[in-house]
């Protein structure tokens, strides 16, 4: 059995690399998630944009899985001890064609409770198949946000409104929130996705700026209390520094 000293040593060496969809998630990792996870023993918490995500609007959507998979595989291979995860919107994932993400089309008609799990399981199976039986599958934790980043902001509507400097919108945000069992269930069509609902209420809504101002005001405790899928992901990240796989190294540049 490993000694307490060994476990503490592993905690001092834990690292996580988070592949994110865009600048909003990148800023969230840097300003909100990383400081929180350092309290659990991480020595390095980094976000990596999926390709040139800053040009996403001109590309017409998130990169295809075949391209994203190359980045994930490279990082898993280059740092054999690092935990690798994703933070991408379920809403935005391509469902068909050459850009399709595993499990996304199959998840569409399923009950809400099965959607993220279906995509996550398919992504993990795809990576595991590529790396072979020796790969420690605990090192890759696919997280697909339900349904997108703005959904998390409805975890505390008063703080959401305060964070973006529009306290007058608290009742409007709350009215949207009250229609769903959890914020993660705010649905995902071209007109009813969380971001679309926010844009209808906030003229000139800038996702990276306003989204993270709101997130800082809301705080992780409120989000984990309201969003079960997000909470499960966070709990897995919290537990990683205790894993035997954590060892010295450096994140790839």
The pLDDT-based confidence of 92 (bands split at 50, 70, 90) is confident
For residue 3, pLDDT over 60 is answered with no
pLDDT tens digit sequence for 99-147: 999 999 999 999 999 999 999 999 999 999 999 989 999 999 999 999 9
Within 8 A by CB and 6+ apart from 194, the residues are 147, 148, 149, 150, 151, 153, 154, 183, 186
Whether 247 shows a pLDDT value over 70: the answer reads no
For residue range 155-171, what is the model confidence (pLDDT) as tens digits? 999 999 999 999 999 99
Flag whether pLDDT at 56 surpasses 90.
no
The residues facing 87 across adjacent strands are: 20
Instruction: Note the pLDDT of residue 50.
Output: 86
Q: Give per-residue pLDDT as tens, 196-222.
A: 999 999 999 999 999 999 999 999 999
Confidence of residue 243 (pLDDT cuts 50, 70, 90): low
Backbone angles phi, psi at 192, to 5 degrees: -115, 0
Q: What's the pLDDT at 7?
A: 53
Question: pLDDT tens digits, residue range 64-74?
Answer: 999 999 999 99
Encoding tokens for residue 83?
A: 């935990």
Is 118 in contact with 106 (CB distance < 8 Å)? yes
Is the pLDDT confidence value at 17 over 80? yes
Provide the residue ranges of all domains of the chain, joining segments of one domain with +: 4-147+227-242, 149-223
Find the largest Cα–Cα distance for the chain.
59
Contact 61, 95 (CB under 8 A): no
Query: Average pLDDT of 36-56?
Result: 82
pLDDT tens sequence across 29-39: 999 999 999 99
Tokens 């980043």 sit at which residue?
Answer: 149
pTM of the model: 0.87
- Report residue 51's pLDDT band, with 50, 70 and 90 as the boundaries: low
**Angle between helix 170-177 and 194-201 (nearest 10):** 160
Considering only residues 188 and 232, tell me which one the structure prediction assigns the higher pLDDT. 232
Is residue 41 scored above 60 in pLDDT? yes
Name the pLDDT band for 228 (thresholds 50, 70, 90). Answer: very high
Count the helix, strand and coil residues of the chain and give each as a percent rounded to the nearest 5. Answer: 55, 10, 35
């Amino acid at each position: 059995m490993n000694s307490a000293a060994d476990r503490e040593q592993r905690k001092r060496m834990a690292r996580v690399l988070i592949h994110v969809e865009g600048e909003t998630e990148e800023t969230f990792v840097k300003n909100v998630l990383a400081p929180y996870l350092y309290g659990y023993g991480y020595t390095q918490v980094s976000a990596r944009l999926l390709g040139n995500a800053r040009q996403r609007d001109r590309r017409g959507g998130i990169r295809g899985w075949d391209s994203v998979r190359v980045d994930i595989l490279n990082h898993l291979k280059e740092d054999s001890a690092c935990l690798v995860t994703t933070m991408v919107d379920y809403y935005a994932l391509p469902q068909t064609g050459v850009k399709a993400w595993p499990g996304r089309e199959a998840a569409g008609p399923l009950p809400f409770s099965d959607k993220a799990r279906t995509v996550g399981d398919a992504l993990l199976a795809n990576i595991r198949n590529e790396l072979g039986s020796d790969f420690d599958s605990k090192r890759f934790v696919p997280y697909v946000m339900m349904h997108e980043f703005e959904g998390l902001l409805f975890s505390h509507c008063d703080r959401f409104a305060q964070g973006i400097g529009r306290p007058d919108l608290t009742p409007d945000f709350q009215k949207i929130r009250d229609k769903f069992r959890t914020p993660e269930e705010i649905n995902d069509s071209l007109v009813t996705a969380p971001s679309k609902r926010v844009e209808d209420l906030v003229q000139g809504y800038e996702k990276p700026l306003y989204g993270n101002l709101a997130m800082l005001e809301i705080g992780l405790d409120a989000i984990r209390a309201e969003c079960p899928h997000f909470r499960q992901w966070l709990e897995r990240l919290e537990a990683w520094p205790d894993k035997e796989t954590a060892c010295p190294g450096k994140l790839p540049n």
